[in-house]
Structure 1
């Protein structure tokens, strides 16, 4: 049995191994977890070496313009929209059409992206001064310098994203999973090697090298072995390219709160020294469970969602979406209870060292507490949005998301004026709540995924269990309060975690929840797509 397990694990770790929905989800969850662990090391190093002040605020803010540029050209979602088209071509045995469309998307959009980057390099300082109005002149100049270093990385992110779509469409998940790992590693290496000579600019240099080595080079080397067939192609009339543009235009013109949330937080928080940095530390740590629970599952599920929908299996499609959402939401509710109850010891143990002090931990923990409240919403949104993309509909969700993002800005403004930086974290929760509700309603009214078929009773059991476990862990904090002592804080973390785990386990048992069994049940998640895996692999 043991030898069989290790044999299957070895096969799954081969770059050429084609995954099922279950193995892909498991692989991406592990990879995302490793990436977030390395991401934690990255953030912990930055906190240790540079603390939380005006310099780190400038560094975090420097990612804003590159993110905008990437978003305008649908760089962040290029692989999502391309997967549906490429997967359909493969299922219809149109290999040459797939290669031509891939080449056109790479050639044309990369050319436009290069032109935009050159233009942006000239106006970086003006943009920084306009957007971050609370920055001092020294911060503006530093932020502009860092931005200019980061801008070319968007070429590697974009091309790497499209190339990874080819691998995902062929159910090759290992190499796309490695890209973020290398990206984070190079940021750390850049800081460690170059901090003395280049200061905080060394982090931006590391990010640029990491974007090339991780998201781009690893995927390109993997795709080269799959007969990717890239050729320079400026054919604007290519049918697949025009379809991709049609799907991507809503993503280019629209704004989703999933992306815009960070931009809005930075805009309002730029007036206080260290506020952007502390918000960023809290949000990045909060992104760990989001990525593991929501994004990894969504990324792994998209090719299978797309294939089910493309083959007209609408009932199987809807059932798989609802089953995935139920598991994610239920698990997220339990995770939120733990994160909120243990917020301060988590933050203090993760970040406090070097120039990041206990007071920084206290402030960051408050933001982390409020972010943690919305974990289930962020996780569900990741799956619901991919259900739309799999159905070939990007216009509806992006129009709704854009309108809701615009409507949410006054909420951020009011809560910031009344509650300070804490109000921004609360506003983030309110915004993602509206966004997720909109996705649910639109999918239901469109007849794609019926909300009534979601396992509401089981979600209710998880919610009640989470409330009980979170409350018990919170009151356990009075036994061992957090202080400046690392040993005491580790003990406080252990006590809160143990109380949460025990109460959660008892609660699920008393409620007779199906969640533990559902999470262990491989066939429940992968059943509709297992047929796909068998059909596809039959000809390999």
Structure 2
């Protein structure tokens, strides 16, 4: 029997190729090759995507390992972003407290302990109740987690559908309640503040009519803030109270320089601050993140349940 010429022997489906260990020791490994006789070309091990990570097709367990490694890296990034967010929020709260203290000093310096100071405080009583009922109880507890869940799942379209489904009835309801409250301001203050004189009740109703529209800006602006919170953006939302307090101070100082020592200048400043800081700026922040209105959203959308 003639000896086999190993140099001219056809290669099989698998042939041994030298590879190296990390230590440099040569070992044998397998690698798919084309069959030279039949012309059969076998699948090659090529990189593909597995849940956003690279793996080799056909290698069991590689994808799981990639996920574990990427998950650890993602946690580190999340911790870094969380630290930055905490720093931004803490700095914003500190500045807001300082401006709040400056606002109190300005009110005390201009209005003092007069009846105008009491009217300024009382003018926010009913509007604040309306805001807490609409925004504090519903939006913060319910809507923000819903939107954040859609954004985290990269279901952006459903997130905007949820936003539209919530924004639409909230805007209609808040506008209707504000109009009703402005019309009924005089009977409301007569019931809530029976100790005031008729002249004081008239002035209080006038101030309340000015500040009531600010609640629309607060509530709708909270929805725009929710969009930014869902995208982990905190800089623009933290500017809202800073602008609000600044406008109150500016309104009071401008009115005082014009010779008006009533609370009306501060009230107008609150309205302007809410319109700019809590609504306009927050709309801009949400618009930068791709805010859009979805059509044909049913009124019984699951986000409202």
TM over 0.5: yes
Counterpart Cα distance in 2 of 1:143 and 1:158? 23
Is 2:212 the counterpart of 1:151?
A: yes
Is 2:177 the counterpart of 1:116?
A: yes
Looking at secondary structure, tell me which structure has more helix per residue: 1
The within-5 A match list for 1:242-321 is 242-243=304-305
Looking at secondary structure, tell me which structure has more strand per residue: 2
Distance change >3 Å, CA 160–CA 99, structure 1 → 2: same
1:210 alignment counterpart: 273
CA contact (8 A) 1:153 1:211 kept: yes
State the 1:230 CA deviation: 2.6
State the 1:90 CA deviation: 1.5
1:366 alignment counterpart: none
Could you say what secondary structure the match of 1:212 adopts? helix
2:64 alignment counterpart: none
Counterpart Cα distance in 2 of 1:217 and 1:123? 28
Pick one of 149, 154, 173 that aligns with 1:93.
Answer: 154
- Measured against aligned partners, the alpha-carbon deviations of 1:233-273 in whole angstroms (never above 9, x if no partner) come to 66312112x23xxxxxxxxxxxxxxxxxxxxxxxxxxxxxx
2:166 alignment counterpart: 105
Pick one of 118, 135, 156 that aligns with 1:57.
Answer: 118
State the 1:19 CA deviation: 6.7
Distance change >3 Å, CA 55–CA 220, structure 1 → 2: same
Is 2:99 the counterpart of 1:38?
A: yes
Pick one of 161, 164, 170 that aligns with 2:222.
Answer: 161
Counterpart Cα distance in 2 of 1:233 and 1:54? 52
State the 1:76 CA deviation: 6.3
Is 2:290 the counterpart of 1:227?
A: yes
The within-5 A match list for 1:117-516 is 117-195=178-256, 196=258, 198=260, 199-231=262-294, 235-240=298-303, 242-243=304-305
- Measured against aligned partners, the alpha-carbon deviations of 1:475-513 in whole angstroms (never above 9, x if no partner) come to xxxxxxxxxxxxxxxxxxxxxxxxxxxxxxxxxxxxxxx
State the 1:74 CA deviation: 3.2
State the 1:141 CA deviation: 1.6
Counterpart Cα distance in 1 of 2:201 and 2:296? 40
Could you say what secondary structure the match of 1:73 adopts? helix
State the 1:82 CA deviation: 1.5
Could you say what secondary structure the match of 1:52 adopts? coil
Could you say what secondary structure the match of 2:113 adopts? coil
Could you say what secondary structure the match of 2:189 adopts? helix
State the 1:33 CA deviation: 0.9
- Measured against aligned partners, the alpha-carbon deviations of 1:322-362 in whole angstroms (never above 9, x if no partner) come to xxxxxxxxxxxxxxxxxxxxxxxxxxxxxxxxxxxxxxxxx
CA contact (8 A) 1:149 1:204 kept: yes
5+ residue gaps, structure 2, are 1-78
CA contact (8 A) 2:119 2:263 kept: no
Distance change >3 Å, CA 95–CA 207, structure 1 → 2: same
Counterpart Cα distance in 1 of 2:291 and 2:155? 13
1:275 alignment counterpart: none
CA contact (8 A) 1:107 1:232 kept: no
CA-atom RMSD, angstroms?
2.1
CA contact (8 A) 2:161 2:297 kept: no
Distance change >3 Å, CA 140–CA 76, structure 1 → 2: farther
Counterpart Cα distance in 2 of 1:56 and 1:233? 48
TM-score, normalised by the number of residues in structure 1: 0.40
- Count of paired positions: 226
Counterpart Cα distance in 2 of 1:93 and 1:133? 54
CA contact (8 A) 1:101 1:238 kept: yes
5+ residue gaps, structure 1, are 1-17, 244-540
1:448 alignment counterpart: none
Could you say what secondary structure the match of 1:228 adopts? coil
Counterpart Cα distance in 1 of 2:96 and 2:184? 33
Pick one of 85, 88, 105 that aligns with 1:24.
Answer: 85
Counterpart Cα distance in 2 of 1:235 and 1:35? 39
State the 1:132 CA deviation: 1.5
